[in-house]
A and B are shown apart, each in its own frame.
Chain A
Amino acid sequence: HEGLPYCETHYHQKRGSLCAACQKPITGRCITAMSKKFHPEHFVCAFCLKQLNKGTFKEQNDRPYCHPCFVKLFG
């Protein structure tokens, strides 16, 4: 990265491609949401843990929710 050697974790940290949920490098598909990056399987509803798709989630206090849980919690 920029001509300097890094281990894998710090390379991804420099590039901003560590998963915000598990803090591990994202090498395959990546979801960018709420100004963070996630492994697709780690971008989940904060209440039911169901996997979310970018664009179909609702955000409240910096946490993502699926539509049914959002309705249940925030009406």
Chain B
Amino acid sequence: MPEVKYRPNIGAPRTPANEEPAAERARDFRPVDTGYTKADAIAEANRCLDCKKPLCMEGCPVGVHIPQFIEKIREEDWAGALKTIKGDNLLPSVCGRVCPQENQCEGKCILGKKGEPVAIGQLERMVGDMADEVGEAPECKPSNGKKVAIVGSGPSGIACAGELAREGFDVTVFEAFFTGGGVLTYGIPEFRLPKAIVKREIKGLEELGVHFEYNSVAGRLFDADELFNEDGFDALYLAVGAGLPRFLHVDGENLPGVYCANEYLTRTNLMKAYEFPEYDTPIRHGKNVVVFGGGNVAMDAARTALRLGAEKVTLAYRRTEAEMPARKAEVHHAKEEGVEILELCNPLRFLPGPDGFVSTIELQRMELGEPDASGRRRPIPIQDSEFAIPCDVAVTAIGTRANPFAKLCADVELNRWGLIETDENGRTSNPKVWAGGDIVTGAATVILAMGAGKKAAADIKEKLLAE
């Protein structure tokens, strides 16, 4: 039978996302984007030009074979599509939802030069979400008798765990919280990444034979020497992240009602404070909420505030919207839901009301100067431009720093920011210890953390099996 040559549907518009109406969804925690249907996915897959030299793959930090999985979608071979993606990426349902595709795969798609790129993220998550339907059969090599400990169950830890389990290693993941997922669980809200998906991915790893030890704080409950000498582990991968919040260090920042985003999101996502008093953890509900920052965490906090019933949510940023590092889709969603963006201003101080809680914020106007080291124009304060706005809950989302527990756990070299020094394979100064993800790079993306986990897994395999 002669092979039928694929003819892409040239000129077809990008298949739109299926989103809940902004006015309704902004009041509860249901997913904003319900994802593609099978018909949507096939239509979108037909837009792909099936490039001989796919640039999209170069844009993906873990090198997912994008044209190949899209081809499987066209053939309606859902199991085949899932298998193709999972060869490179164990968490497609997560990455399809949270990757900044505009800077990665979709940013490189040739269709994007003149029109809209293929919706690779939407396709990836759609296929990932088919896992229950197509029934995955985990394939692992037989046990090789080597034990690896992983500290942290965030994206980097679970990527490393999955790769090693598939290669026949006996893997244990130690997690400080009572549940797995790291930032996927405590940070990214339900309306962007349903927690059922994170739970499913963790369950998938358990089916591969990975053990999870929760409530296990590295450096306090155990250390590297104990893992190697008493528990018989052959290698350790540190993926503890960079979860320590930064503060603005301005007057009034410790007033009740001023949160850092980590606390605000942990209370809401992990402890389910939005269901207080069914759940025991409380959170302050503000009428006027002001969030500081321009990244994804700031967007998540602002949109969470709306869902907690705020009448007005303002996102204050030092630069302009064009410089915001957040995912474009989230900035769009936030604005659509009613978050107001206040550009070019910086907080000077928080002032209390008669009840002792924060009630007012004093801000200062900024202007943009020359580009700084990040390539973005530096904000400079404008003299005598102070003004005040009412605020009964403030959330600061101005970044995070290294988690100190890596140092308490293992003797590894750190740089001056407290981040772990490694080579390109994740090797630290300690020959039995590898590290990757945010604890090496500082706060970055889910997919980069996963890429580091994969790389370290390959190197751990090579080194341990050579012994």
Do chains A and B interact in one complex? Answer: no
